[in-house]
A and B are shown apart, each in its own frame.
Chain A
Amino acid sequence: MEKLREIAGELLKSNDVKVVIGYTKGMNNKVTPFFAKKQEDIAKLICGNSCAQNLAVYLYKKDISDLGKPAIVANIHTLRGIMRLAVEKQIDKKEMIILAIDNAGDIQKLDNLSDLENYLSSVIPQLNEEDQQMLDELNRMTPGERMVFWKQEMKKCIKCYACRQACPLCYCTRCTVEENQPQWIPVASSVVGNLEWHMMRAMHLSGRCVECGQCGKVCPVNIPIHLLPVRIAQEMKTLYGTSTGISLSEKCDMSTFKPDDKENFIG
């Protein structure tokens, strides 16, 4: 924590960085995103295992970009989010400093994307135990049982789009689900429409999702919605052997064709 505050303080002092995107303790002791802009804000910055949110989502938000060059406190989810956003040319030209924090709490200052690529080359992405257990359970089900499970969950969905808004890779400013001329997917929240919306979202994230689980964490009615994109991410790994948010040279698997691509899923 001290080291983080020290580095963040120096960055702000040098006037090179205008805002440090990180975490603080909010009301009721909850960890919440925080934007340190002045020296007196620095003491409020915190880090640790409870700082789990993927902050990469803030890198392309207008209100925050308007503040000037950022430094961003980055756990593994945020790091992969940044990398993937750069690969997809959303923030590849953005000037920023990345303060990478590993599980042991060690901090490394990364000045550019190739530093980030280096840092990530030694990281093996791993799903947390709880998510893996839930996925195993879903995998054990028959397709029919899985349909029942998801339909039950879809009944609860209120289409608040918190999952989409909190996801760093859901950066489209116009989403198909809100289009009504023509209407692709029912805008109103109903079981079938909700299922269509979440399948559409999961498919759009295939080969892009960085498995941070943020979309599921934020759902106000506790739908483990991240299991859809995360499950597809695992499928992509099995099919094409690729991971996301790790290297600058990775592609978008779903829109890349190679003559030796496996085609065994075509019936």
Chain B
Amino acid sequence: MPQIIDLCATSDIESEDVIRVDREGHSFAVYHAPGGKFYVTSGLCTHEAVHLADGLVMEHIIECPKHNGRFDYRTGEAKGAPACVNLRIFPVTLAGGRVTIALS
């Protein structure tokens, strides 16, 4: 059974920004995309396990604060060195102004 995890309120994140949420021993990055959609990825860069929430969101790209590796946070796709391994993404559910994911 997937575990439903409540991460934050939609109002916790400015548009075109990201926050870090730690739950159940995992670190997540929660994104508020331009246009109002929300996305969740693993919180750590696949290059060197740095918290992505300290990085810069540009449209649908999250840029890692350490070596500027870039990922498309909608798909998790790594967009070029030194980010070469895709990010794990989590399907998001929005209900009552809360961002939740199902963790299997």
Task: State yes or no: do A and B come from one complex.
Answer: no
Interface residues of B (CB under 8 A from A): none
